[in-house]
């Protein structure tokens, strides 16, 4: 078995697949990339059992066959090559010989038949959407998902598809993001929870891409098809919490403020906050916002005044500064609106600009109890 492939094209595809690989695998074969040659088409696959990712490349070959090659050696070697054609030949010594312009390298291969197959998705429902929009939806929500192994349903992103809109939700019980596209819809209503790892891969690959992505899903698996690639993953089993119940509907106190000025102020003041609670205090009265923090253990404190546009009663509310920084940093708008009801109720952050027609995003952050010392 012999084939010729561009070193840069091969490296690009393998680096994309490399995001699937784990440092520790239960099956040694998962430390390899699967090469499936069918004359002039090379299909490359990586898997961690939960997620399987395949992509195709055009090559020069008249042969067919499968073999698995060690991922780390391949990636480390290809990174050092300038662009050139590489010839790969399967030898009788159980190695694959890689012939480059100025050298040749032999690497042991494993029989490709041992490589686990991607999960089949029988009787799927199907939705299509622009790849760039999917990347935006993932980017807007993924950071808010949790890491608690005891609550696996909150460690992913909730996909909620209806005939009127597509909604993506993530929460870790302290913060929540709801991202809706009212300009997109599904033929049927469906709900499923996508795990973090495949979403991270999709986000990195699809960012700025206008190619259409076909999403197929049933109760246990989802498959994403785009260009020459197929990503199949197992869904998180369980029922997603009723997130609508925690979003306060009546928020009479509303503050509009410059996002970057607010973000930078919170970053600075939080340096002086308690290192355990990261608590900062927002005191809003009239057109003035006071951002303050105190660390009584070390007698550190900070206080800043910002101008804002505020409608409502004077209010003092405490937040974990790390959550505010994450949320404000993940938006691109010039101005945001912070909607509040009571000091013990969640605050809602919504962008005032920088969003597209049909796009809707709501960020929720839970307050912390202020210690009025």
Can you tell me the mean pLDDT for 96-100?
A: 97
Strand, helix or coil for residue 60: strand
pLDDT over 70 for what percent of the chain?
99
Q: Is the same domain home to 254 and 159?
A: no
Residue 335 lies in a domain: yes
pLDDT at 287 over 70: yes
Per-residue pLDDT reduced to its tens digit, 151-161: 999 999 999 99
Q: Is the same domain home to 14 and 76?
A: yes
pTM for the full predicted model: 0.93
Q: Is the same domain home to 323 and 363?
A: yes
pLDDT at 372: 62
Strand, helix or coil for residue 114: helix
Cα distance between residue 293 and residue 274, in whole Å: 8
pLDDT at 316 over 90: yes
Q: Is the same domain home to 182 and 232?
A: yes
pLDDT at 149: 85
Residue 373 lies in a domain: no
Q: Is the same domain home to 95 and 207?
A: no
Q: Is the same domain home to 211 and 298?
A: no
CATH number, domain at 12?
3.10.150.10
Can you tell me the mean pLDDT for 132-153?
A: 94
- Residues in the chain, how many? 373
pLDDT at 343: 95
According to DSSP, the residues that pair with 157 across neighbouring strands are 194
Domain boundary among 61, 88, 114: 114
Beta-strand ranges (E) seen in 259-372 are: 279-285, 288-295, 300-307, 309-311, 315-320, 335-340, 347-351, 359-365, 367-368
Range of the domain at 356: 247-368
Residue 120 lies in a domain: no
Domain boundary among 202, 221, 244: 244
Residue 255's closest CA among 297, 315, 182? 315
The total number of structural domains in the chain stands at 3
Q: Is the same domain home to 84 and 148?
A: no
Can you tell me the mean pLDDT for 323-350?
A: 96
> Could you tell me the CA-to-CA distances from 321 to 175, 177, 317 in Å, in that order?
12, 17, 12
> Could you tell me the CA-to-CA distances from 333 to 314, 330, 336, 337, 355 in Å, in that order?
26, 10, 7, 10, 7
Domain boundary among 72, 95, 114: 114
Q: Is the same domain home to 109 and 170?
A: no
pLDDT at 373 over 50: no
Q: Is the same domain home to 230 and 251?
A: no
Residue 119 lies in a domain: no
> For the chain, how big is the Rg over CA atoms in Å?
25
Residue 289 lies in a domain: yes
């Amino acid at each position: 078995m012999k084939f010729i492939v561009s070193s840069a094209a091969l490296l690009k595809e393998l680096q994309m697949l490399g995001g699937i690989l784990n440092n520790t695998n239960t099956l040694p074969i998962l430390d390899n990339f699967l090469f499936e040659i069918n004359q002039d088409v090379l299909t490359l696959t990586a898997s961690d059992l939960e997620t399987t990712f395949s992509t195709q490349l055009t090559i020069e070959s008249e042969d067919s066959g499968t073999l698995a090659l060690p991922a780390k050696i391949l990636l480390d070697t290809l990174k050092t090559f300038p662009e050139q054609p590489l010839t790969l030949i399967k030898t009788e010594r159980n190695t694959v010989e890689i012939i480059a312009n100025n050298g040749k390298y032999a690497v042991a291969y494993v029989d490709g038949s041992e490589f686990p197959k991607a999960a089949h998705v029988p009787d799927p429902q199907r939705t299509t959407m622009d790849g760039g929009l999917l990347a935006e939806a993932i980017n807007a929500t993924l950071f808010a998902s949790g890491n608690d192994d005891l609550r696996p349903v909150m460690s992913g992103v909730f996909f909620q598809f209806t005939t009127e809109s597509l909604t993506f939700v993530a929460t870790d019980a302290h913060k929540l993001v709801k991202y809706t596209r009212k300009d997109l819809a599904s033929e049927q209503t469906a709900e499923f929870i996508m795990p973090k790892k495949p979403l991270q891969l999709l986000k990195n690959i699809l960012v700025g891409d206008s190619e259409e992505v076909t999403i197929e899903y049933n109760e246990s698996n989802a498959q994403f098809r785009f260009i020459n690639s197929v990503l199949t993953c197992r869904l998180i089993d369980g029922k997603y919490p009723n997130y609508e119940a925690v979003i306060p509907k009546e928020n009479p106190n509303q503050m509009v403020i410059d996002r970057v000025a607010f973000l930078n102020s919170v970053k600075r003041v939080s340096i002086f906050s308690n290192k355990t609670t990261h608590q900062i205090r927002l005191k809003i009265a009239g057109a003035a916002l006071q951002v303050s923090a105190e660390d009584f253990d070390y007698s550190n404190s900070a206080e800043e005044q910002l101008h804002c546009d505020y409608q409502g009663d004077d209010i003092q509310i405490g937040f974990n500064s790390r959550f505010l920084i994450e949320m404000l940093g993940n938006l691109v708008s010039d101005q945001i609106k912070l909607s509040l009801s009571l000091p013990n109720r969640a605050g809602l952050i919504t962008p005032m600009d920088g969003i597209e027609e049909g796009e809707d995003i709501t960020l929720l952050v839970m307050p912390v109890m202020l210690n009025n010392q």
